[in-house]
Structure 1
């Protein structure tokens, strides 16, 4: 069935643009909020010396006798904060309540920090690296905490990962390196250009066998370096999207206005989740 999109005048200026949240990003009176529990990881093997907070979101429709789908959100609290730019828990509650995505247990994972260090943040080292360490960290140190408490599917088609900026790199790379563990990806404003050895994906997508991934991307017309020959975050995202298209991947690109901001991706989260899960069997209402 054809979808008609109402006319909306495009802004003449591309820089100072803010997108308004839709109803799926607001609490609804008839939707019971999910339960959120927090845990910490203070003894990481993959990232020694780091500590981090994580949160598990379990929707009201979770049935301990069944198996839920799984979502991982990088930059944990940034994506979970109900008053923030993304509001992940609220969005999940609304979509799962209406059966627009499977019943899903989600874990929101902060990047690691080195307590007491002059430069405590380990975010870029974890998220921008082109290797399997972050995926291994999730699989061996984070998800066992989740699966010890809740029943989630081990089927990679029922597992997704989401992130933005460097967190978008981490989401893309985790699925690329471990398609046996994660196959549904949401990557906002990915900072492919600041990966240590450059962006490998335009070449790899065209030269390696197609992986069974479903990928939702968001990019911005005025992302960092948008008109520069190097370190151009907009161009790098477009090159990855073009390679995905040429290689026949199941992907969707949404190109918006504004700069390097979580606003547009946050507003798009309901649409992104609906799209990546569109072929999954919805949970009964």
Structure 2
């Protein structure tokens, strides 16, 4: 069950906030909103029991078409696998896989909204089922636009000194430029996609462009929108790595010395920057990475995500924050229980560009 946390408990310290919120809710508090709907903004607590959402199962709905191709890193002008910050002990992929799912509801010739998925093809099976089932929903609050799912594989390995870390944890517009200037044109012009959909095209409307990721991929989703809101505005982050994971020798350290930790602490970028045109979903698990670490490590995922939610709320963003009890980092059962709701919330209010 999804329970909205009442705002009067928001001032509790970060470590106790989710538990205090749960313990403090009673019938009088819940009178105004008994159960959080899939399109409400704000904070939601789920668990400790989880079930797969029906819309994320194969219900026999019409299927779309899936395409797969590879992009050699050596041909990229932005991420060619030779960055000076890379640790030679960490492997870099020779090529990255791109998987594209076009739902049955897509009509050739329309400028399609789309969702870029980091660490592709992770969770693509759930997104496929959601598209198959929810593009035909009779409930307007559950109906999804016929968006294209574009799952992009990372460049390899993890954490500081890795190609994946370079792509996802760097505080810059570099990843946004890579997706915008290299990946999206490759998708639009892929011969197999063109053969199936001769007039295939992706929307230029930033409100029709979403990004989704978990862990560092989640931080990357926020970073793409933060630095390039003119390109990407609907952002989904699970177990977001809003911690100091940026390479210590990255040039961006001069401007953002604590990496993604700067969003909510130290520089408090969200709080101290003019509000951007973004719609942001965030999540953290009760037992997420380094949940008991002191602030001085700049690596407590629960603290980081609680503070990020606080900052988004204080600044007046369209946001939704899920705290999942009895779960861990990027826990699959959280995706299985919530992703239908998350997608419904993320695309709520979207109207396709008529052009």
TM-score normalized with structure 1 length:
0.86
Distance 1:151 1:262 in 2: 34
Q: Distance in 2 between matches of 1:4 and 1:225?
A: 32
- Residues 1:64 and 2:105 are matched in the alignment: no
RMSD: 2.3
Counterpart position of 2:57: 26
User: Number of paired residues?
Assistant: 263
Secondary structure (helix, strand or coil) at the match of 1:224 reads: coil
Distance 2:183 2:65 in 1: 18
Q: CA deviation at 1:243?
A: 0.5
- Structure 1 window deviating more from structure 2 (239-248 vs 42-51): it is 42-51
Match in the other structure for 1:109:
152
CA distance in 1, matches of 2:35, 2:352: 25
State the 1:195 CA deviation. Answer: 2.7
Q: Per-residue displacement from partner, 1:20-75 (whole Å, max 9, x unpaired)? A: 2111110012x111111001110221111452001111000111132211110111
Structure-to-structure mapping, 1:172-251, within 5 angstroms? 172-196=222-246, 197-198=257-258, 199-202=261-264, 203-229=268-294, 230=297, 231-251=299-319
State yes or no: 1:95 paired with 2:134. Answer: yes
Match of 2:69 in 1: 39
- Residues of 2 paired with 1:271 and 1:204: CA distance? 28
Residue 282 of structure 1, CA deviation:
7.6
Q: Does 1:127 align with 2:197?
A: no
Counterpart-to-counterpart distance in 2, 1:136 and 1:94 = 32
Q: Distance in 2 between matches of 1:239 and 1:224?
A: 15
User: Among 158, 170, 183, which residue is 1:142 paired with?
Assistant: 183
- SS, match of residue 97 in structure 1: coil
- What SS does the corresponding residue of 2:122 show, helix, strand or coil? helix
Tell me, yes or no, if the aligned pair for 2:263 and 2:270 is still in contact at 8 Å: yes
Cα separation, 2, equivalents of 1:18 and 1:74: 27
- 1:256 aligned to which of 324, 347, 352: 324
Distance 1:195 1:235 in 2: 15
CA contact (8 A) 2:237 2:281 kept: yes
Contact 1:130–1:195 (CA under 8 A) maintained in structure 2: no
Q: Distance in 2 between matches of 1:5 and 1:17?
A: 16
Partner Cα distance (1:109, 1:143) in 2: 10
- Sort the Cα spacing of 1:245 and 1:4 in 2 relative to 1 into closer, same or farther, 3 A: closer
Larger Rg belongs to: 2
> Which residue does the alignment assign to 2:344?
274
Distance in structure 1 (CA, Å) of the matches to 2:62 and 2:51 = 24
In 2, are the aligned partners of 1:217 and 1:253 still within 8 Å (CA)?
Answer: yes
1:207 shift after superposition: 1.0
Match of 1:12 in 2: none
Gaps of 5+ in 2: 1-31, 37-46, 82-93, 195-199, 247-256
In structure 1, the gaps of 5 or more residues are: 7-15
Task: State the shift of 1:134 in Å.
Answer: 0.6
Name the CA shift for 1:53/1:18 in 2 (closer, same or farther; >3 Å): farther
- Runs of 4+ in structure 1 off by over 4 angstroms are none
